[in-house]
Chain A
Amino acid sequence: MTGASATKGRQIPDSLTHPATRLLKSWESLLAVVVVVIFVTNSFASPYFLDPWSLSDATYNVTEKLMIAFAMALLIIAGEIDLSVASIIALASTAMGFAVTLGAGTPELVAIGVGVGLICGLFNAVLVTGIGLPSIVVTIGTMSLFRGLSYIVLGDKAYTGYPADFAFFGQGYVWWVFSFELVLVAGLGGVFGVLLHRTNFGRAVYAIGNNPTGALFSGIRVARVKFILFLLTGLMSGIASVCLTSRLGSTRPSIAVGAELEVVTMVVLGGVNILGGSGTIPGVVLAALVMGLVTFGFGLLNVPGIVMSIFIGLLLIGVIALPRLWARLRIQRG
C-alpha cells in the first residue's frame, strides 16, 4: 500500500520489484502492523492486558484452532476445504469420553483422540480423492455425520471424569508462562512452515492449487497429495480435540460448535487465497495473533461472545472485500 503512488500508471512491470519492497508491501507485513497496533491499543485500554499470565491465558483463544488452521491452510492452498473439522473434534472427544468409562488411562486417551481424528480425515480423503466428490459438500455432509454420531452416543448427557494427569495437555505449563499448548502449536507451526515452504511436497501443494491439470501433467500425484492433506487435517483436528477436551475436562456433543468458521476465517485472514494457489504459514500465525488479541481485548472490555462472532464474520468478509474494492477504485481512477 505504501508504494501505491509510485507504481501508479505502470501497467506491465519490466522487472520484479526488489525483494525487500515486496516484503514491505506484502499482506503479512500489513498484518504485523495490525498486530502491533492492536497490542499497543489494548495495553493502553486495559491495565490488565500487559501481564505475562493474562497474555498466556489469552493464547488459549486460538491455540487449538491454529493447529487445525495450519493443515487447513495447506488444504485451501491446494484448492480443497474441510468444513468438518469442528465435528471431528466432537467425535474424537466423544470417543475419548467413552474410553474413560471403560477405564482407559491417559496414553490410551491420547491415542484414541488422535486416532479418531485420523480416521475421520481418512473418511473425507477417501470420499474426495477416492470417489472424486466435491470437498465442500462432502465435508458439509461429514460435518453433520461426525457430530451426529456424537449426539447418538451422548444425547443430552456429558462425559466427565477424565484422569487427573490428562489435564496436562490443556492446562499444563512447560516452563514459566509457556503452556503445553503454546509450545505444541509453535512446534507444529515450524513443522508446517518447513513442509509448505521448504519441501517438494509444499511446492506440489501450490502447483495443485494453481492448476490441478497442469500439476498432474508435470508428474505430481495430485490425488495422493490431496489425500495426505485431508489426513493431516483430520490428524490436527484429533490433536486439537485432545487439547480442548483436556482443557475443558468434559465432553458434550456441542463441543467446539462453529469452530470451523473461525479456522477458515483465520486462514483467509492470513492471506491464503480461498480459491487456492497462494498463502503462507507466517500469514496464518499473524492472523491468529490478530484474532486472539482482538478476542482478548473485547473480553477485557466485557463484550459478549456473540458480538465477537459478528466481528469475526465482518473480518472474514472485510479482508477479502477491501483489497478488491481497493483494486476496483484504482482501476476506475485509471
Chain B
Amino acid sequence: MSRALKSREALLGLAIMLLIGLIATRFPDFVAPSNLANVFNDTAALIILALAQMVVILTKCIDLSIAATLALCGMVAAMLDVAGVPMAVIVPLAMALGACLGAVNGLLVWKLQIPPIVVTLGTMTIYRGIIFLISGGKWINDQEMSPLFKSLPRMEFLWLPVLSWCAVAVVAIFAVLVGRTPLGRSFFAVGGNAHAAVYTGINVGRTQFAAFVISGALAGLVGYLWVARYAVAYVDIANGFELDVVAACVIGGVSIAGGVGSVGGAVLGALFLGVIKNALPVIGISPFWQMAISGTAIILAIAVNATEGRSRGRVILKSAEHVA
C-alpha cells in the first residue's frame, strides 16, 4: 500500500523530469539553475495553497473560497501598508484575518453541518464582494506601497528569495504536522472513516474546523506575498486560482473523497502545473492554453486516481501495519 502511494509520487516526479528534459532538448536555457529557481519561486504560492487545500480535502471538505480569502487578505495588507502600519504587524494580521475567514467556513461546516462546497461557494463571492466594499473598487498601486512591503518577498537569502523560502518552510512544517502530530493524523482519520474517527475519540467537526482555519491562515500569508510580489491589489487578484489549487491537489493524488493524500504528492502536483505554466511561453504556446491544460490534467488525474483502486481509505492502519 505504501508502495502504491510512493509510486504515485515517483510517477509524478518522473513526469516532471521528463517534461523538463523534453523542454531542455529544444531550449537548454530552461534548465539553467537560475531559471529553475525562478520556476520554483513562481510556483511558491501554488505550493503553499495546495498544502492548505490538501488538509481540507483530507477531511472530506473542499475550500473554494481560498483564492477569495487570499485576495481579501492581500487587499487588507496593502491598505494597512498605505495607512503606515509597520510590516511586523501587517503579516501576522493578514494571517489572523485569513484564519478568521477560514473559521467562518469551518464554523458553518462544523456547527450547522452545511456541505462545505455550498459554504465555500457562498463565501467565495462574499469575500470578493467585501474587497469591493472596503476598497471602493479602486486599485492600490506600486507607488502607494512602502518599499519594504514590496521588497520583502523578493529579498535574496541563501540564493533564493524569501517567497521561495516561505514555501520551503510551509512544506517542512506540513511534513511534520501531517505525518507526526495527532492533529495531522486525525485529518486522515476523519476523511478516511468519519464513524471510526468518532469511536476513537476524534471530534470530526472540530478537525474539519481546524483544517479550514489552517487553510485560511495560509491564504492570508499568500495574500500578502501575492500583493507584494506583483505590487498591485485590486478586487480580481488571483481570480479562479482556487481551481489551480484543487487541480494541484488532485494531480498530486489527493482523493476528493477524503482520507488519501500526501505532502509530497501535493507539492509535486503544484510543481507539475508550475512547470507547464512556465514552459508554455518558452515553447511558444499562447498562455491562453493554460486553463484547458489544467482542466485536462484534473480530469486525467481523477481518472488515474479512480483506477488505482478505491479501497485506499484506511491509510493509517495500513501504514501502521507496514511500520510494525
Q: Which residues of A contact B (CB under 8 A)?
A: 81, 127, 131-134, 136-138, 140-149, 151-152, 155-156, 253, 258, 261, 264-265, 268, 274-275, 304, 306-307, 309-310, 312-314, 316-317, 320-321, 324-325, 328
Contacts and interface: CB of A to CB of B under 8 A. Distances in A.
Contact of A133 (B126, B243, B303): B303
B291 A132 contact: no
Interface of B is mostly: helix
Interface residues of B, number: 43
A89 to B, nearest CB: 15
A140 B298 contact: yes
Interface stretch (B35-43, B112-120, B152-160, B170-178): B112-120
A152 B123 contact: no
Given A133-B302, A320-B118, A321-B112, 11 more contacts: A127-B299, A131-B303, A141-B296, A141-B299, A144-B292, A144-B298, A151-B288, A261-B124, A304-B132, A310-B130, A325-B112
A150 B306 CA distance: 28
Given A145-B292, A147-B291, A274-B118, A137 B298 contact: yes
Contacts of B235: 306
- Give the top 4 A-B pairs by smallest Cβ distance, nearest first: A148-B292, A145-B295, A144-B295, A310-B129
Given A146-B295, A309-B128, A313-B122, A152 B288 contact: yes
B290 interface: yes
A320 B121 CA distance: 13
Contacts of B288: 148, 151-152, 155-156, 253
B292 to A, nearest CB: 3
Contact of A143 (B112, B113, B243, B296): B243
22 contacts: A131-B303, A134-B257, A137-B298, A141-B295, A142-B299, A147-B295, A148-B290, A148-B292, A148-B294, A149-B292, A152-B286, A156-B288, A304-B137, A306-B129, A307-B132, A309-B125, A312-B125, A313-B122, A313-B126, A317-B114, A317-B122, A324-B113
B105 to A, nearest CB: 10
Q: Which of A81, A131, A137 has the most CB of B within 10 A?
A: A137
A321 B257 CA distance: 24
Q: Which of B128, B235, B302 has the most CB of A within 10 A?
A: B302
A98 to B, nearest CB: 15
A316 B62 CA distance: 17
A313 B65 CA distance: 11
Contacts of A147: 291, 295
B293 interface: yes
Interface of A is mostly: helix
Nearest to B117: A136
Contacts of A312: 125
B49 to A, nearest CB: 15
Contact of A152 (B129, B132, B292): B292
Given A132-B306, A138-B302, A142-B299, A151 B291 contact: yes
B118 A268 contact: yes
Given A152-B288, A313-B125, A320-B114, A143 B295 contact: yes
B125 A148 contact: no
Given A141-B299, A142-B299, A264 B121 contact: yes
Contacts of B113: 324
Nearest to B294: A144
A155 B286 CA distance: 8
A310 to B, nearest CB: 3
